[in-house]
Amino acid sequence: MSIISAAQAAFTEAYGTEPAGLWAAPGRVNLIGEHTDYNDGFVLPFALPQRTIAAVGPAPDGQWSVCSTLAPDPVTFGVTEPGAVTGWGAYVAGIVWALQDAGFEVPPVRIALASDVPLGSGLSSSAALESAVLTALIDLGGLDVPLERRPAIAQRAENVYVGAPTGILDQSASIRCQEGRALFLDCRSYQIEQIPFDLDGQGLAILVINSNAPHQHVDGEYGARRKSCEAAAEALGVKALRDVATADLAGALEKLGDDVLRRRARHIITENQRVLDTVELLRAGRVREIGPLLTASHASMRDDFEITVDQVDTAVQAALDAGAHGARMTGGGFGGCVLALIDADRAEATAAAVADAYRKKEFSAPTSWVATAGPGATRL
Ligand code: ADP
Ligand code: MG
């Protein structure tokens, strides 16, 4: 069954009626620019073909109900404040709350969700869920919320209601990405530019490899990285590490006494520059040449930011050994996915090489697929 049919069926099963409409929002991979978002820096995600579908219809009881193919019993709530709804329903209650808090009258609805975005793999199933629900509420309520305001509303739901301190990257990608483009986002000004990302035309492909590694200590480590970045910025007397120019890197690092802070800062400062360099190359249609930037980004995450694990390092190395032009972990780290820029006809061979390397290390098997840049959140 397709996820569209699955969402429809879940709706009918839970509520005994047909939905008024269907909305879809994608997961994403970040091509480059990791942990730069909360440093006011640059990111370059593109939307995955994998999406979350929200089947939505009006709620006669004046409340909000949501169920999922993963949790078929509906969670029902009225007007709430952060903390009232917990568990996965908090993502939906958070969207309702964030819209209300922004001054909008949110229509009471019933929702059923289905998704083929892998959960908790760094492909942002949470933002896909939030963006599908947000778009549905805006459309059904006839709310005047311009596209550029939407990511921050979804981010508030996740930060304040769910309590996950994430940056603006995931929601921006799920809401604003376009087919065949990568989204160049300035996380300080929220300015975006749609960057041509023509893989097909150049005989190239992006292979996404889910390491399927169990996530460990993610929240604590993420918080620690944020603190280090803030401490480094403060020590350097800048608002955020984004304000340190690459040309001033050596001088800035000298000013940081602590070796850990120095390496954390070096990752962010060089990573921002790699995003800018990648954008330059893509604007010029020189897609293949971004490979070394991807690989350098991975080395920086592994050695300086220390957010990789053996499974992702192994996948990157195996992909490169199999002839990839570049490869890197994507997402917040400590597991999750790797992306590799490969010649289009090398997908199977590369996936097999990674699977082979995993077998040798007795890791559980990875999952690989070719990702194309899909559209952002939309009504179907
Ligand atoms: P990621 O965004 O990288 O997939 P997160 O931990 O941020 O990982 O979000 C995953 C969480 O989002 C899940 O644990 C669940 O609470 C919620 N979620 C995402 N998609 C769904 C879905 N289709 N049905 C129910 N809950 C979902
Ligand atoms: Mg998430």
* 125 touches ligand 1 (CB under 6 Å): yes
Residue 87 structure tokens: 């568990």
pLDDT of residue 238: 97
* 129 touches ligand 1 (CB under 6 Å): yes
Band (pLDDT 50/70/90 cuts) for residue 169 is very high
Per-residue pLDDT tens for 119-146? 988 899 999 999 999 999 999 999 999 9
Q: What is the dihedral of CA 195, 197, 198, 204, to 10 degrees?
A: 160
| Farthest-apart Cα atoms in the chain, separation | 66
Asked if residue 148 lies in contact with residue 243, where contact means CB atoms within 8 angstroms, the answer is no
Asked if residue 244 lies in contact with residue 265, where contact means CB atoms within 8 angstroms, the answer is yes
Q: Which whole number is the average pLDDT over 71-100?
A: 97
* Every domain range in the chain assigned CATH 3.30.230.10: 3-195
Per-residue pLDDT tens for 18-36? 999 999 999 999 999 999 9
Q: Are strands 45-58 and 109-115 parallel, antiparallel or unpaired?
A: antiparallel
Asked if residue 340 lies in contact with residue 314, where contact means CB atoms within 8 angstroms, the answer is no
* 91 touches ligand 1 (CB under 6 Å): yes
Most ligand 1 atoms within 8 A of CB, residue of 129, 166, 210 to mutate: 129
| 40 C-beta neighbours (distance < 10 Å), count | 21
Q: Which CATH class is domain 200-371?
A: alpha beta
* 70 touches ligand 1 (CB under 6 Å): yes
For 274, phi then psi, to 5°, come to -65, -35
Which residues 6+ apart lie within 8 Å of 117 measured at CB? 26, 27, 48, 50, 51, 52, 123, 124, 125, 128
pLDDT of residue 167: 85
Distance 115 CA to ligand 1 centre (A): 10
Distance 117 CA to ligand 1 centre (A): 9
Q: What is the 3-state secondary structure of the chain?
A: CCHHHHHHHHHHHHHCCCCCEEEEEEEEEECCCCCCHHHCCEECEEEEEEEEEEEEEECCCCCEEEEECCEEEEEEECCCCCCCCCCCHHHHHHHHHHHHHCCCCCCCEEEEEEECCCCCCCCCHHHHHHHHHHHHHHHHHCCCCCHHHHHHHHHHHHHHHHCCCCCCHHHHHHHHCCCCEEEEEECCCCCEEEEECCCHHHCEEEEEEECCCCCCCHHHHHHHHHHHHHHHHHHHCCCCHHHCCHHHHHHHHHHCCCHHHHHHHHHHHHHHHHHHHHHHHHHCCCHHHHHHHHHHHHHHHHHCCCCCCHHHHHHHHHHHHCCCCEEEEECCCCCCEEEEEEEHHHHHHHHHHHHHHHHHCCCCCCEEEEECCECCCEEC
* 369 touches ligand 1 (CB under 6 Å): no
Distance 120 CA to ligand 1 centre (A): 6
Domain 3-195 sits in CATH 3.30.230.10: yes
Per-residue pLDDT tens for 223-261? 999 999 999 999 999 999 999 999 999 999 999 989 999
278: closest CA among 27, 46, 48?
A: 46
Calpha distance 302→315 (Å, rounded): 13
Distance 126 CA to ligand 1 centre (A): 4
Calpha distance 287→64 (Å, rounded): 45
* Every domain range in the chain assigned CATH 3.30.70.890: 200-371
Q: Which whole number is the average pLDDT over 55-66?
A: 97
Per-residue pLDDT tens for 339-372? 999 999 999 999 999 999 999 999 999 999 999 9
Output the residue whose Cα is nearest ligand 1's atom 9.
126
Distance 113 CA to ligand 1 centre (A): 11
End-to-end CA distance of the chain: 17
Per-residue pLDDT tens for 315-344? 999 999 999 999 999 998 999 999 999 999
Of all ligands present, the nearest one to the C-alpha of 133 is: 1
Calpha distance 280→58 (Å, rounded): 46
- The closest-lying atom of ligand 1 relative to the alpha carbon of residue 114 is 23
Q: Are strands 71-77 and 64-68 parallel, antiparallel or unpaired?
A: antiparallel
Name the burial class of residue 217, with classes exposed (0-12), middle (13-18) and buried (19+) by CB atoms within 10 angstroms of its CB: exposed
Measure Cα distances from 346 to 200, 327, 338, 369 in Å: 13, 14, 16, 12
* 166 touches ligand 1 (CB under 6 Å): no
pTM of the model: 0.94
* 159 touches ligand 1 (CB under 6 Å): no
Output the residue whose Cα is nearest ligand 1's atom 7.
126
Most ligand 1 atoms within 8 A of CB, residue of 119, 218, 337 to mutate: 119
pLDDT of residue 214: 80
Output the residue whose Cα is nearest ligand 1's atom 6.
120
Output the residue whose Cα is nearest ligand 1's atom 2.
124
Band (pLDDT 50/70/90 cuts) for residue 1 is confident
Q: What is the 3-state secondary structure of 195-232?
A: EECCCHHHCEEEEEEECCCCCCCHHHHHHHHHHHHHHH
Distance 21 CA to ligand 2 centre (A): 25
| From 73, 170, 258, 304, the catalytic residue | 170
- The closest-lying atom of ligand 1 relative to the alpha carbon of residue 158 is 7
* 8 touches ligand 1 (CB under 6 Å): no
| 170 is known as an active-site residue | yes
